[in-house]
Amino acid sequence: MYLFTSEVVSPGHPDKCADIIADSIVDAILMKDKDSRVASEVFVAGKHIVIGGEISSKAKFSFKEYENIVKNTLHKIGYTGNQNFTKEQCLHPDDIEVHVLLNQQSPDINQGVDQKEGEIGAGDQGIMFGFATNETKEFMPAAITYARDLCDKVYKFAKTNPDKFGVDIKTQVTLDYGNKSNFENCKPQKIHTIVVSVPSVETMGIEEVRKIVSELIDTAGLPKHLYDKDKTTIYINPTGRYVNHSSLHDSGLTGRKLIVDSFGGYAPIGGGAQSSKDYTKVDRSGLYAARYIAKNIVAAGLAKKCIVQLSYAIGIAKPTSISVDTMGTYADGIDDDMLSDFVMQNFPLTPKWITNKFGLDKPSKDTFLYAKVAANGQVGHKDYPWEQLDSVDAFKNIKSK
């Protein structure tokens, strides 16, 4: 055996609630003023929702408007005041207390970000990693892809059956690659273990919970050549009881689910979160750009998997470094040196270029919403602008040495 595991949490997990609230604020502000600068961290503890950080914008929001954003967001997530769970077992939106502690972005940062010639300087220094693999049609690692599929299935059931389940859900998938060579060459052999934790109403017995979730697993669309229920180890609410949930029993904070948001631990990640930040913060835009480059390289057939690292200096538009690492899987004589040089020569990768390329300053219901990205994961969904494959032909036309 050679095993690898990834975990996913649902939008109802307290950390995800914090991310989604923070990005609902980003959406609301950018839709009123696309030049806003936003870094609105959110802390969810018990019945308290604390919004802190820095916002500079022509759009001004009252306390009541922030409160409404919080309550509407929680309602969409599935915290609707479900009477099947008591107010001691689960968060009820009518009970929450919102605290708004926001300041202006520092002028020291502004002078480097908003440049006279129209360029946008990086909103901070830092490193970002994008990754892609041919393990799945989404060009994402298999473990996190299937953990997401399971989480989505159980979460949707929970939202439509509040008399049975709550929405604070975790899933985990372990893949067996058979040996290290298969792992390195992106060839999973089977799903070895599945873990699902979902809160149930107190009147449900564990046998009924496990029966329902087992059926959801079987109909989640897991690949038949990898999933055999009779040969897969499955743990459903392994402690035997999961009733108490939400921020009443586990606090939540923006940026605490970076592995869930990205590549499931399969690849390196940068040190900063995406949620809560506007597009000038390269923790967000740099991840999207690096993922875009890596995905197009793999989709072009130039590698089985690919890591792209970018780095930036605060106030400077051009990246301070760009590197491509295909982890020894490059093809057609197009090696990492050639790929790195091609990316440097053909993709500006400034915050302005990234913003214009993907429309990051214009979130909308017709394109994308940062709140939905926060709920579903920052990468790996084909509808995101940074998941497009419009540079495949350019990479295919690179000439080997």
Residues 234-254 pLDDT 10s:
999 999 999 999 999 999 999
For residues 333 and 401, give the distance between their C-alpha atoms in angstroms, rounded to a whole number: 7
- The pLDDT, as a whole number, for residue 122 is 79
Q: Do domains 3-9+142-245 and 126-133+281-397 have the same CATH topology?
A: yes
Mean pLDDT, residues 41-46 taken together:
97
* DSSP structure class, residue 200: B
> From CA 238, how far away is CA 196, in angstroms rounded?
8
Residue-wise burial string across 99-134, b where 16 or more C-beta atoms lie within 10 A, e elsewhere: ebebeebeeebbebbeeeeeebbbbbebbbbbbbbb
Please report, rounded to a whole number, the percentage of residues in the chain having pLDDT higher than 90.
91
pLDDT value, residue 121:
75
**In this structure, are strands 48-56 and 97-103 parallel, antiparallel, or unpaired?**
parallel
H or E stretch covering 15: helix 14-32
Would you say the C-alpha torsion 394, 366, 76, 213 has a positive or negative sign?
negative
pLDDT tens-digit map of 4-23: 999 999 999 999 999 999 99
pTM of this structure: 0.95
pLDDT tens sequence across 338-359: 999 999 999 999 999 999 999 9
At 174 the three-state DSSP class reads strand
Mean pLDDT of 199-225: 97
pLDDT of residue 115: 56
Q: Which residues pair with 50 in a beta bridge?
A: 43, 99
Q: What is the rounded distance in angstroms from the CA atom of residue 65 to the CA atom of residue 116? A: 33
pLDDT of residue 91: 95
pLDDT at 113: 64
Mind listing the pLDDT tens digit for each residue in 116-172?
A: 566 777 777 899 999 999 999 999 999 999 999 999 999 999 999 999 999 999 999
- End-to-end Cα, the chain, rounded Å: 39
Side-chain-side CA neighbours of 329 within 13 Å: the count stands at 25
- Residue 188 is predicted with a pLDDT of 98
Query: Given this model, what pLDDT does residue 332 score?
Result: 87
Report d(CA 376, CA 285) in Å as an integer. 17
Q: For 269-325, what is each residue's pLDDT tens digit?
A: 998 999 999 999 999 999 999 999 999 999 999 999 999 999 999 888 899 999 999
The pLDDT tens digits for 97-115 are 999 999 876 665 555 565 5
309 DSSP β-pair partners: 129, 323
DSSP-assigned letter for residue 387: G
Whether residue 215 is predicted with pLDDT greater than 90 in this model: the reply is yes
CATH of domain 126-133+281-397: 3.30.300.10
Distance separating alpha carbons of residues 151 and 107, to the nearest angstrom: 42
Domain ranges of the chain: 3-9+142-245, 126-133+281-397
- pLDDT given for residue 316 in this prediction: 87
Percent of the chain with pLDDT over 70: 96
* pLDDT, position 105: 66
Can you tell me the distance from the alpha carbon of 276 to that of 110, in angstroms, rounded to the nearest whole number? Answer: 18
Average pLDDT, the chain: 94
DSSP 81-138: --TTS-TTTS--GGG-EEEEEEEPPPHHHHHHHB-TTS-B--SS-EEEEEEEETTSTT
Mean pLDDT value of segment 48-54: 96
**Is the Cβ–Cβ distance between 279 and 70 less than 8 Å?**
no
The yes-or-no verdict on residue 401 having pLDDT over 90 is: no
| Domain made up of 3-9+142-245: CATH architecture | 2-Layer Sandwich (3.30)
